Structure 1
Amino acid sequence: MNNFTCVFCGRKLNPTEINKKATVCQNCFGKARVDKIQTEGFLKENFTKTWSVTLFKNYVLFLKELGISITTICRHTSKVLQVLQIAENELLKPSNINEGWLISTLEKIPNSKGVKSSLFNFLIKEGYLSLNADEGILTSIREGLKQVPKGFIRLLEIYFNEKMELRNRQVKFNARKPLSLLTVKADIEIFVRLVRWFQINCKDIESWDTVQQEDVHEFLLSLTPKHREIVRKDLLVLFKLAKRKRIITHIPILDIKSRELPPTIEPLTFDEQVRVARLIKISHYEQSLECLLTTLCLYHGLSSSHIRNIKISDIKVDQKAIYINDRPPVYLSNDEMVLINEYITQRSNIRNVQNKTFLILSSTLSEVYQDRPINNAFIARKVKAFCGFTPKSLRITCFNMIASNFGPQLLVEGFGLSLTQASRYGKLEDYLLEEQIRAERNFIKENGT
């Protein structure tokens, strides 16, 4: 076995390479891979825009200059290839790349944690990211704190400093989702808003230790019900901090369990669902685009962002399926396949369609030479005009019907919802309990006891 050597460099193959019956060592294989990803053929096959090609080539050169191993270069470039492909679809130009977009994109790509550091440093070197990108947010927070009266400022400064210490600690230990500065800014804005409200409506309150429970409740009642619960929880955190720091002697707000608010959008009634279904069936050919959009919302629970990013290559005709990022595939019925075929036929009449990669297209002149997804407003306008309901109400109807008939667990496994989202359409424990009761009743009926 020790006589096995690489056919290129002559290095002895390791036992793993020999077991795989390889004739080339891992290092030579990696070098060939790195050479291949820099060829014009590979770049044309994987990219559609010049700026993304330039960025990818420069990134490979950047890694070579760092002197890291060939294996690491292969691993990093495969992840950055996916990042830049997503960038082509979601961004108009490389200057639109920012820290928030980059972090959210890397989270979508499996095992991409190791590439973050090199990619960030490369983009900083290229001038697309700044080391002081957060400075604008920090400046805004500090400017807001300057407007706070003397009796209230100390607590807010303590809160801000503690949150910054938490964020810095998370960044230091490479936390997957460090505390966002925008979150800190939003919290500070809520507290500043409360102080301003005190200045206008409760002029006798000059510091935190004179705030009473009825004052806070009166402020909360001035907010909308949906916003009120969020603000209440933020204020509870602030007042607990104030008591711990001995700025106040009591917490002027009740520490109660968060209440579940009633839904702001109700699902369609059964009669309304029947009317929409009939409308889709009789309008297959006259309004194929509107029918397709409505079908994807009502029957498959797709959001506008999911629909707008569907590409022609995502449709697998032989499997009767559409593959969607971040959720299980959408499997189509025969009627839906007919509907897609009809829309594809009408889509072929749009100018420059041969250069378009997305399924849903706009026929306006401003979009003729742009290969980019339509916006959410386009989908909302088409669906609302067609059936009289918004895409969101149709999506909620879909999830509500699935949960009521098959249980909310199916929303997690079949539609890609989180457990928190699925629980809004039904309690997992309640459904399992009902299933157990039904099974016991069937057993008793069958056995006659």
Structure 2
Amino acid sequence: MNNFTCVSCGRKLNPSQINKKTTVCQNCFDKARVERIQTEDFLKENFTKTWSATIFKNYVLYFKELGIGVSTIRRHTSKVLQVLQAAENELLRPSDINEGWLVSTLEKIPNSKGVKSSLFNFLIKEGYLSFNADEGILKGIRELLKQVPKGFMRLLEIYFNERMELRNRQVKFNARNPLSLLTVKADVEIFIRLVRWLQINCKHIESWDNVQQEDIHEFLLTLTPKHREIVRKDLLVLFKLAKRKRQITHIPILDIKSRELPPTIEPLTFDEQVRVAKVIKSRLYEQPLECLLTTLCFYHGLSSSHIRNIKISDIKVDLKAIYLNERSPVYLSNDELIVINEYIKQRSNIRNVQNKSFLILGSSSSEVYQDRPINSTFIARKVKGFCGFTPKSLRITCFSMIASNFGPQILVEGFGLSLTQASRYGKLEDYLLEEQIRSERDFIKENGT
């Protein structure tokens, strides 16, 4: 009689493993492999130098300390093994490891993209690698500038130097949010995109001084409406700088007030909101998971990232609250406590649940022995199938209704939104003006004058 269970843990084998006539499941195989690669016999067999074997063994321990699953450790260590074997052949000592060598070596190894982040973080942590992100970005900007034709290069160099001076001043005076190098790089990429477009479509233009307003407008029409407005403002800054530095004699773009584009996703109508609320109320016991996900989006404006990272330890039943990072707690109603309680009952039937720290769990068999959050697609699918609306539209509805009743400032202080994000749901100054008018009217009514 064929044995369809793992001889190590007793777990049922999947059809693929049965066809291959394996006797252990994938998890037990990965676990045995991870244990073996830490043994002295394996290290002596695969490494000729002590320092490379030590780095490899510490890399495995680093993953285990982070609580990474054995299947991920097995996949990553197979790539890192090849990297360190190459290091033995090409480098004299571990201090010779540098960013350029690592990147070029990983590019030669198939399917090694996912290894780069963990390997870099480990080597930096252990002191084998010093990585300066700023230098990498600056190098990238300079490489971009080298590609620009001579007639256009000088202005872009001036722009880059001006922005760097501004950034250095901000850093010197301990500015809270100094200008990001990524922002500078993004701006330079926009300008270079314009230069390339001019080279293809306006071959008679050889410098910035020959650019006309019609050329800029034609270029902007190639962009999407939202991106078009961002690029227009960036180009206006560039051309004003060029005029001040006498690189051009005129500014080939109109300095007009930025237009506010209509939102791409409208909040739900009142009738739609009522329908969603009734669906949640009527299915607290039948579909607790879907109700919980929809409630967190609809009533509390939680993003998928917030929801997927909620842990059991974050729920404080005695305080009727869920504590979150980077925003105020979510305070729960009685119905929400009921739906959480019902979901916990449903959750208890999931295999290996005692080793799971996250509140929301998927039902996939591949996740049984992994303690990691669900993905955003899972949340979107459950919410859309339950109420007919996406989590994003429910979140926008939540913020719009709160801002219309209490002003957008509460979105900053109570929900962790930035001022820019909050301003999309209402103007702070308009709400304050309305509040002042309302208070004056109340004062007149009370005093009868």
Which residue number corresponds to residue 243 of structure 1?
Answer: 243
Deviation at 1:128, TM superposition (A): 7.5
Query: Counterpart of 1:378 in structure 2: which amino acid?
Result: F
Residue 404 of structure 2 corresponds to residue 390 of structure 1: no
Deviation at 1:241, TM superposition (A): 2.2
Which residue number corresponds to residue 411 of structure 2?
Answer: 411
Change (3 A) 1:368 1:230: same
Deviation at 1:275, TM superposition (A): 1.2
Deviations 1:359-388 (A, max 9, x none): 111121222222222222221222122222
Residue 332 of structure 2 corresponds to residue 339 of structure 1: no
Deviation at 1:152, TM superposition (A): 1.0
Contact kept in structure 2, 1:151 and 1:208, CA below 8 Å: yes
Residue 201 of structure 2 corresponds to residue 201 of structure 1: yes
Query: Counterpart of 1:182 in structure 2: which amino acid?
Result: L
Contact kept in structure 2, 1:51 and 1:93, CA below 8 Å: no
Which residue number corresponds to residue 31 of structure 1?
Answer: none
% same residue: 84
Query: Counterpart of 2:326 in structure 1: which amino acid?
Result: D
Contact kept in structure 2, 1:145 and 1:153, CA below 8 Å: yes
Query: Counterpart of 1:51 in structure 2: which amino acid?
Result: E
Q: How does 1:171-190 map to 2 (within 5 A)?
A: 175-190=175-190
RMSD: 2.8
Deviations 1:307-330 (A, max 9, x none): 111111111101101111111111
Query: Counterpart of 1:279 in structure 2: which amino acid?
Result: V
Deviations 1:85-111 (A, max 9, x none): xxxxxxx99954979xxxxxxxxxxxx
Which residue number corresponds to residue 51 of structure 1?
Answer: 65
Contact kept in structure 2, 1:97 and 1:128, CA below 8 Å: no
Residue 283 of structure 2 corresponds to residue 283 of structure 1: yes
Q: Distance in 2 between matches of 1:179 and 1:443?
A: 46
Deviations 1:25-58 (A, max 9, x none): xxxxxxxxxxxxxxxxxxxxxxx974359xxxxx
Change (3 A) 1:421 1:49: same
TM-score, normalised to structure 1, is 0.69
Q: Distance in 1 between matches of 2:116 and 2:205?
A: 50
Deviates more, 1:308-317 or 1:284-293: 284-293
Change (3 A) 1:164 1:365: farther
Query: Counterpart of 1:254 in structure 2: which amino acid?
Result: L
Deviation at 1:401, TM superposition (A): 0.7
Query: Counterpart of 1:187 in structure 2: which amino acid?
Result: D
TM-score, normalised to structure 2, is 0.69
Q: Distance in 1 between matches of 2:234 and 2:176?
A: 23
Q: Which runs of 5+ in 2 are unaligned?
A: 1-61, 68-113
Q: Distance in 1 between matches of 2:272 and 2:129?
A: 50
Deviation at 1:431, TM superposition (A): 2.3
Which residue number corresponds to residue 267 of structure 1?
Answer: 267
Contact kept in structure 2, 1:306 and 1:324, CA below 8 Å: yes
Which residue number corresponds to residue 163 of structure 2?
Answer: 163
Query: Counterpart of 1:155 in structure 2: which amino acid?
Result: L
Deviation at 1:130, TM superposition (A): 3.0
Change (3 A) 1:134 1:428: closer
Deviation at 1:269, TM superposition (A): 0.5
SS at match of 1:248: coil
Change (3 A) 1:125 1:174: farther
Change (3 A) 1:250 1:98: farther
Change (3 A) 1:428 1:185: closer
Which residue number corresponds to residue 319 of structure 1?
Answer: 319
SS at match of 2:402: helix
Contact kept in structure 2, 1:94 and 1:128, CA below 8 Å: no
Change (3 A) 1:166 1:411: closer
Q: Distance in 2 between matches of 1:423 and 1:133?
A: 32
Deviates more, 1:195-204 or 1:127-136: 127-136
Q: Distance in 2 between matches of 1:299 and 1:326?
A: 18
Deviations 1:281-304 (A, max 9, x none): 222222211111110011011111
Deviation at 1:178, TM superposition (A): 3.9
Change (3 A) 1:150 1:347: same
Contact kept in structure 2, 1:98 and 1:128, CA below 8 Å: no
SS at match of 2:230: helix
Change (3 A) 1:291 1:189: same
Deviation at 1:200, TM superposition (A): 2.1
Change (3 A) 1:317 1:93: farther
Change (3 A) 1:138 1:409: closer
Which residue number corresponds to residue 212 of structure 1?
Answer: 212
Q: How does 1:24-423 map to 2 (within 5 A)?
A: 50-52=64-66, 95-96=117-118, 124=124, 126-127=126-127, 130-168=130-168, 170=170, 175-423=175-423
Deviation at 1:216, TM superposition (A): 1.1
Change (3 A) 1:285 1:200: same
Q: How does 1:10-21 map to 2 (within 5 A)?
A: none
Change (3 A) 1:392 1:97: farther
Contact kept in structure 2, 1:310 and 1:358, CA below 8 Å: yes
Change (3 A) 1:98 1:232: farther
